Amino acid sequence: MDIFKRKNRIYVPVITEEIAKETLIRCSSCGRLINYKDLKNNLNVCPYCGHHFRMSIQERINLLTDTDTFKAINSDIEPLDVLNFYDGAYYKNQLAKVRQETGFNSALITGKAKIDGVDVAIGAFSFEFIGGSLGFTEGEKIVKLFTYAKKNQLPVVVKFSSGGERIQEGVFSMLQIVRIIQAVDVFKEDGGLFISILTNPVYGGASAIGMLGQFVFAEKDAMIGLTSPRITQLAFGMNFSRELQSAEKLLENGFLDGVFERKDLKSTISKVLKIYTNRSLI
Ligand SMILES: [Zn+2]
C-alpha cells in the first residue's frame, strides 16, 4: 500500500542550543519570522498569531508538573519486534536509531509527579518517538500506569500526541487498545479520576483512549480524529475539511470538555484535581 511506501517522511528537525541562539523560525501559520529564543520563552507559541508549535517531552513535563517532582516509572520496558517487520527498512533498526536519538525506550513517558502540590500518576506521549505511535511498550506502560494509580489512590493525567497505531507491530498494536480500555474501566469503576489532555495531533486508537477521561481537554490547534486527512486521502481518495478534526469543532460538537491555550493547561488541570481530592477520601 502507498501508506507503507511514503518517501517524504517528515522528521522534526533537531536544533541544538548552539544553532538555536541565532536561528529564526518561520511560523507555519502566519508566516512571520520568530527568534528561536522568543519562541522558547513563549512556551513554543507564536508571539504574533498564537499558533501552538510542538513541545519536546521534557518541555511538556516541565509545563505540566511542579519543578523537580517528576519521577519516571517503568522506563526500562523494552520495545518488541515480534513480526520482524520490514517496509524498506527494518523496524528493529528504526527502533535502535530512535532510542539512541531520544534516549527513550518508547513513545510514552510515565511517572509520578505533583501538579500544584497534588500527587498524580502522569503519562505523556512523545511525537519524536516514531510519531508517538501506540505499540506494545506504550500499551504496557499505560496499563501499568493505571494499575499503579489504582494501588496508590492517585488521579491519572495523560497527555496524548500520537499518529495512531504502530503499523510495524500490526495486530499487536491494535490489541493494546483493548487492554488499555479494560485497565481504564477498572480504574474508573474504583472511583479513580482520569484527566485526558489532547495535543496536536491525536489520531487512531490514541484518540479513542483519550476520550475515556472523565475530563477531556484539548490544547489549542490540536487536530483529533480516527485517521489524519493525509491517510484518508491515500487510503480512500477522499478529501475532507481539516476543520472537522479541529479541537474547536470537536468542542462545539460536544466531544470535549474544554479547549485551552498552552499557558492555561496546568491551572485548569489543577482546579479539577483540587476539587477531586477535596471530595474523595484520598
Ligand atoms: Zn504565527
* CATH code for the domain of 233: 3.90.226.10
Examine the pLDDT at 44 and tell me if it is beyond 90: yes
Say if residue 22 is in the same domain as residue 70. Answer: no
**Tens of pLDDT, residues 45-102:** 999 999 999 999 999 999 999 999 999 999 999 998 999 999 899 999 999 999 999 9
Cα(57) to centroid(ligand 1), Å: 22
Say what the pLDDT of residue 42 is: 96
Q: Are 157 and 115 within 8 A, CB to CB?
A: yes
Per-residue pLDDT of 206-257, as tens digits, reads: 999 999 999 999 999 999 998 888 887 888 887 778 888 999 999 999 999 9
Structure confidence at residue 1 (pLDDT): 46
- CA of 25 from ligand 1 middle (Å) equals 10
Number of independent structural domains in the chain: 2
Q: What is the pLDDT of residue 281?
A: 42
- Asked if residue 168 and residue 38 are part of one domain, the reply reads no
79 and 171 housed in the same domain: yes
- pLDDT at res. 228: 84
Same domain, 109 and 159: yes
Ligand 1 centroid distance, CA of 24 (Å): 13
Ligand 1 mean position, distance from CA 52 (Å): 9
Say yes or no: 89 and 214 in one domain. yes
Range(s) of the domain holding residue 43: 1-53
Residues with CB under 5 A from ligand 1 (ion): 27, 29-30, 46, 48-49, 51
- In order of 95, 225, 244, 250, 278, the CA distances from 262 in angstroms are 30, 20, 21, 18, 26
Going from the Cα of 192 to the center of ligand 1, the distance in angstroms, rounded, reads 39
Chain mean pLDDT for the chain: 90
Quick check: bond before 13 cis, omega within 30?
no
- Residue 133 and residue 1 share a domain: no
C-alpha cell at 279: 471530595
Distance from residue 149's CA to the centre of ligand 1 (Å): 39
**41 CA to centre of ligand 1 in angstroms:** 15
How many CA atoms are closer than 13 Å to the CA of 239, on its beta-carbon side?
0
In this prediction, residue 229 carries a pLDDT of 82
